[in-house]
Amino acid sequence: MASLKTSLSIQPNTAVKIRAGVTTGDSSPYTDAAYDVSKAGVAQPQGYKSVLIFLRFTGGATPSAIVQLLHRVSQGNVAGGSGWVLGVQSTPLFEGASFFCDVMGRDFFPLISGITGAPSSVDIWAGGWEAYRNDGTRGG
């Protein structure tokens, strides 16, 4: 498994480095054994309808990578309990490009794949974008 950080809370007007020093793409199976929810650098965007995700590359020649969100879902008392499900996926992101995605306030883990351009490492950053209003409706 790639380098992971502990769970991070996304704050207003601040980008948070969710994963640092990623050198290889993530792979399935998307199970608790492979992606331990207690250690997996899960981003916690409570209060946000959407987030902005971007990458920072170290080295390489015009590097890019693809980001896909992995969401943690609870199935309550159903057999099997909780698990990971795949969410939306970006197009290849280059330095300076961003990816907006709706997360509806749900925790997520950013998977990375399709790393090109031979960077020595990739950092994944996220920031809150569209917030929910206090009355529970969408807000800007």
pLDDT the model gives residue 124: 92
DSSP symbols for 73-135: EE-TTSTT-EEEEEEEEPPPEETT-EEEEE-TT--EEEEEEEEES--SEEEEEEEE-SBBPTT
C-alpha distances (whole Å) from 61 to each of 43, 53, 57, 58, 121 are 29, 21, 10, 10, 12
Q: Tally the domains of the chain.
A: 1
Overall residue count recorded for the chain in this entry: 140
* Contact between residue 126 and residue 93 where contact means Cβ atoms under 8 Å apart: no
| Any domain includes 96 | yes
Tokens at 9, concatenated: 């809370």
pLDDT tens-digit readout, 30-89: 877 777 666 556 777 777 888 899 999 999 999 999 999 988 776 665 555 567 888 999
User: Does 134 reside within a domain?
Assistant: no
Q: Domain of 53: which CATH number?
A: 2.60.120
Query: CA 110 → CA 2, 63, 127, 134, distances in Å?
Result: 11, 18, 13, 27
HSE at residue 92, side-chain half, CA atoms within 13 A, is 9
Assigned domain for 135 exists: no
Task: Please tell me the pTM assigned to this model.
Answer: 0.80
Domain around 41: 8-128
For residue 14, being part of any structural domain is answered with yes
Residue 69 lies in a domain: yes
pLDDT of res. 50: 87
Q: What is the pLDDT of residues 85-140, one digit of tens each?
A: 889 999 999 999 999 998 888 888 899 999 999 999 999 998 888 887 655 555 54
Residue 137 lies in a domain: no
| Residue 56 belongs to some domain of the structure | yes
| Contact call for residues 68 and 88 (beta carbons, < 8 A) | yes
Residue 118 lies in a domain: yes
